[in-house]
Amino acid sequence: MHGPERVLPACRKEMIMMKKYRLETERNGFHGVWYPADTDTESAFILMLGDDSEDLMARSGAKWMHRQGCHALTMSPSKKDYGHHEYPLERFEQAIRFLKSKGCEKIGILGASTTGMLALCAASYFEDLTLTIALTPSDFIMEGFYRDNKDGMKERPGDNESSVSYKGKGLPYLPYAYRHPQYWQMIEKESKETGNMTACRNLFDESERLHPLREEEKIKVDKIHGKILFIGAEDDALWDTCRYIRRMKERLNTLPHTCTYEAYCYEHGTHFVFLQSFLDMILPIGTSQLIALMFKAAKQYPKECRKTREDIDLRITQAIKSWKTE
């Protein structure tokens, strides 16, 4: 349920030819791939896209960042680990050190869906991250989850595990309303009823109803430095990201902070609020048709969804350009 990554097509087989250097947790302190740009730049982005640091989505993200004049460092929990459970924030600390060792003075971070949450969380801990782009994020720490097909279920919640940890301790989280196997059964039920490939908005609403969100579970966006971009769509089928974005705006408007922010909540766009130019790198033809197969709203409002993605493209491109020249 957590993110649209696995529904991207595997039809485009050609490799995106870039220099790449694999980094492993045992040796480097985090799992990822370093994609240095050919241009001389002191700007770099940590990217959490796709299911693996070397998959098509991650590689395309790195290539897109190169076009913006930035180096790219893709990160994921481990090779082909599609879940998120007790992900150590220290790995971002190590990644920042690595980037600084490469001469990167400006470091940004971008995540989408579950990793949109993770990007915000990491930026709230490490002030060296000065441009944070969160697509369809939550404003709270999610409970951890696994994608190991246990008992035939595609996904299941962890056993009292947070999705994120720091200094060996899981951060407080919003517990899911259901346990295994009911958890995945309810997602399948909602997906079928709503006509989406994946839908679990009711699950998250029910989770908050049963467990009203507490302060310790909220992401401390007021601790983030630099600039934040919150981006989501009202018709998101996975969770009510625009409600979460509005809560983060309210938090920033009521608590002391040094960061600036832009928040964009579009009427149409689905959970798949990626930049259009980025998606065109993955699938040059038929992007709208593909997303329409995933989400009912994209089928009903294809032009509006595409317009959203094109606008997001402009917003993020301009934000990176301004950040680089500050």
Q: At 277, phi and psi to the nearest 5?
A: -65, -30
Rounded to 5°, angle at Cα 22 from 18 and 28? 140
In a domain, 160, yes or no: yes
Helix axes 182-194, 201-210, angle to 10 degrees: 130
Q: Kindly state the DSSP code that residue 172 receives in the 8-state scheme.
A: P
Q: At 23, phi and psi to the nearest 5?
A: -125, 130
pLDDT of residue 263: 98
Give burial (CB, 10 Å; 0-12/13-18/19+) of 155. Answer: buried
pLDDT of residue 77: 81
pLDDT of residue 287: 83
In a domain, 226, yes or no: yes
pLDDT of residue 226: 98
> CA–CA separation, 230 vs 315, rounded Å?
11
In a domain, 149, yes or no: yes
pLDDT of residue 16: 47
Q: What is the CATH number of the domain that holds 311?
A: 3.40.50.1820
In a domain, 98, yes or no: yes
In a domain, 157, yes or no: yes
- What is the per-residue DSSP string for 220-257? -GGG--SEEEEEEETT-SS--HHHHHHHHHHHHHHS--
What contacts 152, CB < 8 A, 6 or more positions away?
none
Answer whether the bond into residue 137 is a cis peptide, omega within 30°.
Answer: no
SS3 173: coil
Residues 160 and 173 sit within 8 Å (Cβ to Cβ): no
Range of the domain at 94: 15-325
In a domain, 43, yes or no: yes
pLDDT of residue 326: 87
pLDDT of residue 22: 94
Q: Which helix (H) or strand (E) holds 282?
A: helix 276-282
In a domain, 176, yes or no: yes
In a domain, 275, yes or no: yes
Pairing status of strand 156-162 against strand 143-146: antiparallel
pLDDT, block means (10 residues), the chain with 326 residues:
50 59 92 95 95 88 97 85 82 97 97 96 98 98 94 92 96 97 97 96 98 98 98 98 98 98 98 95 84 95 97 98 95
Buried b (16+ CB within 10 A) or exposed e, 23-49: beeeebbbbbbbbbbeeebebbbbbbb
Q: Kindly state the DSSP code that residue 216 receives in the 8-state scheme.
A: G
The total of structural domains in the chain comes to 1
Question: For residue 148, how far is the Cα from the chain centroid?
Answer: 20
Residues 71 and 95 sit within 8 Å (Cβ to Cβ): no
Residue 103: count other Cβ atoms within 10 Å of its Cβ.
Answer: 11
Please tell me whether the overall predicted TM-score, pTM, comes out greater than 0.85 for this model: yes
Cα dihedral across residues 287, 14, 155, 230: positive or negative: negative
pLDDT of residue 13: 41
Q: Kindly state the DSSP code that residue 127 receives in the 8-state scheme.
A: T
